Amino acid sequence: MSSSDADLVVARPEGLYCPPGGFYIDPWRPVERAVVTHAHSDHARPGHGHYLAHALSAGALRARLGADICLQTLEYGEQVAHHGVRLSLHPAGHVLGSAQVRIEHGGQVWVASGDYKLEDDGTCAPFEPVRCDTFITESTFGLPIYRWPSQPELFCEIDGWWRANAAAGRPSVLLCYAFGKAQRILHGVDRSIGPIVVHGAVEPLNAVYRAAGVELAPTLRVSDPGVDAQLLRRALVLAPPSAQGTPWMRRFARHSDAFASGWMQLRGARRRRGVDRGFVMSDHADWPGLQAAIAATGAERVFVTHGSVATLVRWLREERGLDARAFQTEYGQEDEPAVAAGPDGRGEGAGA
């Protein structure tokens, strides 16, 4: 990627760097000052000297990186100045506390969006477009095939699957990422169908959401009193994908399983995951969402990060006439590293 002396964000080996401000945005190697868009593990790495993030990210960041990290927080729209650069955070609609980073200096405005989605899911502040000259966008699902169902359509499918399983006396095991997806499900499902049991990697993050005032369905752990085989036959069980095939899963006799991910849009993804059902559910923007978000910024220059970079860059150049380029980053796709879980399902951590 070529850059000029006037660029407010450049790619360095440590991550995306703001030269006039002397800080990084979601760096993947340890740095002195890091602005973090959200608490997913590919964007919030350990080892930085100072973290700046939205106030609602604090709980998840401390749970994942340690209570003793040096963390400064801002509210949405609150501005701070650092070395003459004006910085503010704006809703990204991805997960709790997720933010776009707006930086202004020398007559330029840049926005680094982190990860984002446009539809309001009720568990975090919805995405707000921020006008800028240059926009840095993800492209995790930057192909025309990716088009998400609406929230009502999605939960009608999930509820129908759970209800049918409960009527047949079969546990419904839904594999979903512990931070973001699990809480969306707990917020949106029909809790009258039956009890909800969660894996040990999920419950600490539920506590973070509840502390922030997000309404979630009541949850149980498999070790709680009263959680027996009879209760489990009607239960919805939420677990991270890393729990698949572990001893923890043996508790759920004759269960039906499903996977919630944007990758379920692809033919064959459910088969490769080895599950009965796939639900198309993502915390990232789909193809129409990426188009709408970029257009709403009014940006004339767009840098594209992780995902289907070449496809989105080409489309922006040829169809929109924008100055579109690629940023090489080390952000992950919508995937989750392994969670070390003991026999009681108490995970040591959870990824994105």
pLDDT digits (tens, 9 = 90+) for 293-346: 999 999 999 999 989 999 999 999 999 999 999 988 888 644 443 332 332 333
Residue with tokens 């801002």: 74
State phi, psi for 11 to the nearest 5 degrees.
Answer: -90, 125
pLDDT at 330: 80
The last residue of one of the domains, among 262, 279, 296, is: 279
- Residue 76 sits in a domain whose CATH number is 3.60.15.10
- Let me know whether 46 and 121 are in one domain: yes
| Reported pTM | 0.92
pLDDT band at 230 (very low <50, low <70, confident <90, very high): very high
Looking at the domain assignment, is residue 345 inside a domain?
Answer: no
Task: Give the side-chain half-sphere CA count within 13 A for 216.
Answer: 28
Give the separation between CA 7 and CA 16, rounded to whole angstroms: 11
Looking at the domain assignment, is residue 352 inside a domain?
Answer: no
Looking at the domain assignment, is residue 217 inside a domain?
Answer: yes
What percent of the chain has pLDDT above 70? 93
Does the pLDDT at position 147 exceed 80?
yes
pLDDT digits (tens, 9 = 90+) for 191-206: 999 999 999 999 999 9
DSSP 194: -
Looking at the domain assignment, is residue 1 inside a domain?
Answer: no
Residues 6+ apart with CB under 8 A from 158: 174, 185, 188, 189, 258, 260, 279
pLDDT at 331: 80
Give the separation between CA 62 and CA 10, rounded to whole angstroms: 28
- Let me know whether 85 and 197 are in one domain: no
State phi, psi for 17 to the nearest 5 degrees.
Answer: -120, 140
Looking at the domain assignment, is residue 229 inside a domain?
Answer: yes
- Let me know whether 272 and 287 are in one domain: no
- Let me know whether 139 and 87 are in one domain: yes
Least reliable range by pLDDT among 156-165, 237-246, 269-278, 318-327: 269-278
pLDDT digits (tens, 9 = 90+) for 254-273: 999 999 999 999 988 888 88
- Residue 200 sits in a domain whose CATH number is 3.40.50.10710
Give the separation between CA 348 and CA 338, rounded to whole angstroms: 10
Structural domain for 42, as ranges: 10-145+283-326
- Let me know whether 36 and 184 are in one domain: no
- Let me know whether 83 and 131 are in one domain: yes
Residues in the chain: 352
Distance of CA 51 to the CA centre of its chain: 19
Structural domain total, the chain: 2
Instruction: Spell out the SS3 assignment of 62-85.
Output: HHHHCCCCCEEEECCCCEEEECCE
Looking at the domain assignment, is residue 160 inside a domain?
Answer: yes
Residue ranges of E strands in the chain: 10-12, 15-18, 23-25, 33-35, 50-54, 71-74, 79-82, 85-91, 99-105, 108-112, 134-139, 172-175, 196-198, 236-239, 256-260, 277-279, 301-307, 323-326
- Let me know whether 179 and 65 are in one domain: no
Give the separation between CA 313 and CA 296, rounded to whole angstroms: 17
What percent of the chain has pLDDT above 90? 89
